[in-house]
Amino acid sequence: MYIHVVKPGESIYSIARQYGVSWQKIVSDNELQNPDQLVAGQTIVILEGSRQHVVQRGESLYLIAMEYQVRVSDILRANPQITNPSNLSVGQTITIPPRTIKFGPIQVNGYAFPNINRETLRKTLPYLTYLSIFSYQVNADGSLDDIDDTELIQAARSARVAPLMIITNIGEDGGFDSDLVSTILNNETLQDTLLNNVIRIMQQKNYYGLGIDFEYIYPRDREQYNNFLRKVVSRLRPLGFTVTTALAPKTSATQQGQLYEAHDYPVHGALADHVILMT
């Protein structure tokens, strides 16, 4: 795969000639709405080595996969438009992905708002391990603002992707609220109320795990946050839930700034099942 940066004067046709692929394939892979109106600096994905196969009478995905020595699952990932793998149409064009060398397994997380475009979600789910649904906002009394996430959870489960419930300290103004999270971290009763609500929702809605995205925590609350994570893990792990935390990207352990100082990398690494570095 190549990432091509459009230069002044380039067109979709000249780029296609440069890489030896069809311009129609580039348009399809990048979902370009106006392929004749490229902008200098725009990035375009070029999927290297893909081939096109026109379905013949009597062919199935299994037979096509055997012909090209690739897996059926790989063909389906390369062709998210195929909604019924057992009902191919004669003359239908499908993309045959290149045979690639796999160096090892990876786990991929993607964030999504409840109002995500459903077509985008459908095309992305085959590539994900986790779908982090953003977000349940924590209130000062330990309650959570509900979100309409049922459809996303069901879609993730159907695609064998693990849905994660994300909780945040986003306040009424839409920003991360330091006072709000400080109130929770310094009150054991509120923490218990919050976790009771989290567990209830996760069990009712069939979540796989919890993701905690607490940002701009006061540096003085660093150890309180660590203790809160210890409590979260002790409550959730026996119930079979995973725990993930979001961490600010530090360049050193002593990096200054409210976004960074309360995030204790060694403690998060020891306690959480996974950590996600913010970008």
In the residue annotation, 215 being an active-site residue is answered as: yes
Residues 119, 242: one domain? yes
Find the angle CA(161)-CA(166)-CA(167) to the nearest 5 degrees: 165
Residues 64, 117: one domain? no
Q: CA distances (Å), 120 to each of 23, 33, 52, 254, 269, in order?
A: 22, 14, 23, 40, 32
Residues 148, 24: one domain? no
pTM of the model: 0.75
Residues 273, 202: one domain? yes
Do 247 and 267 contact (CB within 8 A), yes or no?
no
Residues 53, 43: one domain? no
Which residue range is the domain that position 71 belongs to?
49-100
Residues 196, 225: one domain? yes
DSSP 32: -
pLDDT digits (tens, 9 = 90+) for 41-84: 999 998 766 677 889 999 999 999 998 888 999 899 888 889 89
Residues 132, 249: one domain? yes
pLDDT digits (tens, 9 = 90+) for 17-34: 887 788 988 998 898 999
pLDDT digits (tens, 9 = 90+) for 122-167: 989 988 999 999 999 999 999 999 999 999 999 999 999 999 999 9
Residues 158, 271: one domain? yes
Residues 92, 199: one domain? no
Catalytic residue, from 48, 172, 215, 223: name it.
215
pLDDT at residue 48 in the model: 65
- Residue 35's domain is classified under what CATH number? 3.10.350.10
Produce one character per residue of 213-235: b if its CB has 16 or more CB atoms within 10 Å, e if not.
bbbbbbeebbebbbebbeebbeb
Do 212 and 253 contact (CB within 8 A), yes or no?
no
pLDDT digits (tens, 9 = 90+) for 198-254: 999 999 999 999 999 999 999 999 999 999 999 999 999 999 999 999 999 999 999
Residues 95, 118: one domain? no
Number of domains in the chain: 3
Q: Which of 69, 100, 131 is the last residue of a domain?
A: 100
